[in-house]
Structure 1
Amino acid sequence: MKATGGKTIYGASVGILMLDARFPRIPGDMGNAMTWPFPVHYKVVRDASPDRVVRKGAEGMLPAFIAAARELQADGVDGITTNCGFLAMYQDELAAAVEVPVVTSSLCQVEQVNRVLPAGKRAGILTISGSSLTDRHLRGARVPDGTPIGTTEGGREFTRAILDNEPELDVEAARADNVEAALALQAAHPDLGAIVLECTNMSPYALDIRAATGLPVFSIVTLITWFQGALVPPRFA
């Protein structure tokens, strides 16, 4: 047996472009390495704060994200993702800038989820900031027109603590914000068949949302677990 080189880093196939943030990343959060049952490789994009990327539309940040994606590729990752659903707006640009697969956002699942739901049902999106989520973001992820959207914006804890980049998070209040927003989305759309969590920081509350709504919940964790399975298929023989 001979080992073959050519990379700097081995064993971490998924590279994650991280926002430059200080808010707590609890287990289940994409930025907490304990979330993943496989190794991942992180690259922080400096000055890409939650406020700048979400509320300010990541204005002027594309070159920094492209540079960081190329660094991840040079390090040896086999696929690249990001830790903010709003970076769906850069899906095409990032995919064109590197030579490995790129999936920028949990929103990239919406069309696929629609295909597996019963007739008359459709997926809806739960986002951290409904006022900031634009057609540009949705188009980047190929989200179908008219997809229902709910938000935690205006809640007690979650949106404020994350987007204001606060050093403390009341986890139970954040959980309540997510569950209440999901229930409101479901109540407003009787044809809702599943929920896709736009925000990567919502993943810790996916099970609570599932229990409250009875609906399947798709997140960045479900997407990147699928992605990893393609980059490193299991051996059966």
Structure 2
Amino acid sequence: MKDIASRPPHRGRPIYGAKLGIIILDTRFQRFVGDIGNAETFRFPVQYSVVSGISLGADLTPDGETLQVFYRAMDDLVARGVDGISTSCGFLAIMQPHLTARSPVPVASSSLLQIPMLQRMLPSNKQVGVVTAKKPALTPEHFAGVGVDFNGPIAGMSLEGYFRANLVSGNPRIDFARQEAEVLDTVRTFLTESPNIGALVFECTNLSPYSAAVEREFGIPVYDVITMLDWFHAGLSPRRYR
């Protein structure tokens, strides 16, 4: 039998060793380690393609012009050699069917993709709770975009809070501790109001730097875009055991 290591690659590519590509919004706010937009977050190399001129994903709709911008970014990443694509905003779940219809490689657009698996894993008396950057903007269409039937509890970060202000203003110098405290306060209220939540999913990719603090404070599993991409990449580049 021919040794696997001697087989040629599945396709030629200009860049090797970075199998995950990320379509990232055109932002300027500080992205801490743990954020999808900080390359030091990952235990493996990633490639980025910026969608110029699009900075906030919450209010995007999959119209023709917007889709063309994302298609160009996707095509750029595929041409560079990635084997899987993600995006830097959970609200881009609404783009999922459009991206997969065009992409030659798998696409994981949003952390919301994890919800169906978690719903089936939790004890029958528990449910998934979603924390989002902008609750009024998270619609059934976003869940439908990733094939999720969800009617569980949703909490949003304050629209007048420090976290939201930093995203909107593009603040390049964010107080990490202050932002973490706001996330913890939001989750504390959420869990008090919905005590049967058994796991949290963070819609917003900018919340993932605070996942560990939330789990440590409340003892509840937290799933975010990074937990999804760790899993996604494990299939793109499986661990070798021998």
Q: Structures share a fold, TM > 0.5?
A: yes
2:3 aligns with none
> CA offset at residue 155 of structure 1?
5.5
2:49 aligns with 43
> Is 1:81–2:86 an aligned residue pair?
yes
| Equivalent-residue separation in structure 1 for 2:100 and 2:77 (angstroms) | 13
**Paired residues of 2:62 and 2:95 also in contact (CA < 8 A):** no
| Equivalent-residue separation in structure 1 for 2:85 and 2:59 (angstroms) | 23
Deviations 1:96-149 (A, max 9, x none): 111100010001111111111111111110001111111211211233231210
Q: Structure 2 residue aligned with 1:106, among 86, 105, 111?
A: 111
> Is 1:16–2:22 an aligned residue pair?
yes
> Is 1:190–2:195 an aligned residue pair?
yes
Deviations 1:163-186 (A, max 9, x none): 332222121111011111111211
**TM-score, scaled relative to structure 1:** 0.94
**TM-score, scaled relative to structure 2:** 0.92
1:168-179, aligned counterparts within 5 Å?
Answer: 168-179=173-184
1:120 aligns with 125
Q: Which has the larger radius of gyration?
A: 2
> CA offset at residue 56 of structure 1?
5.1
**Segment of structure 1 superposing worse, 142-151 or 204-213:** 142-151
> Is 1:138–2:143 an aligned residue pair?
yes
Counterpart of 1:43, as a letter, is: S
**Segment of structure 1 superposing worse, 84-93 or 68-77:** 68-77
Counterpart of 1:106, as a letter, is: S
Counterpart of 1:146, as a letter, is: N
Identity across aligned pairs (percent)? 37
**Paired residues of 1:12 and 1:40 also in contact (CA < 8 A):** yes
| Equivalent-residue separation in structure 2 for 1:233 and 1:139 (angstroms) | 29
2:58 aligns with 54
Q: Secondary structure at the match of 1:159?
A: helix
Counterpart of 1:206, as a letter, is: S
**Paired residues of 2:18 and 2:45 also in contact (CA < 8 A):** yes
1:222 aligns with 227
**Paired residues of 1:157 and 1:169 also in contact (CA < 8 A):** no
Q: Structure 2: 5+ residue runs without aligned partners?
A: 1-5
**Segment of structure 1 superposing worse, 32-41 or 161-170:** 161-170
| Equivalent-residue separation in structure 2 for 1:2 and 1:89 (angstroms) | 38
> CA offset at residue 212 of structure 1?
2.1
| Equivalent-residue separation in structure 2 for 1:181 and 1:143 (angstroms) | 24
| Equivalent-residue separation in structure 2 for 1:170 and 1:203 (angstroms) | 16
The 1:3–1:139 alpha-carbon spacing in structure 2 relative to 1, beyond 3 Å, is closer
Q: Secondary structure at the match of 1:131?
A: helix
> CA offset at residue 85 of structure 1?
0.3
The 1:57–1:98 alpha-carbon spacing in structure 2 relative to 1, beyond 3 Å, is closer
| Equivalent-residue separation in structure 2 for 1:43 and 1:20 (angstroms) | 10
Q: Secondary structure at the match of 1:9?
A: coil
Deviations 1:19-57 (A, max 9, x none): 00000011111110100000001110101112xx22454
Q: Structure 2 residue aligned with 1:7, among 9, 13, 16?
A: 13
Aligned residues: 235
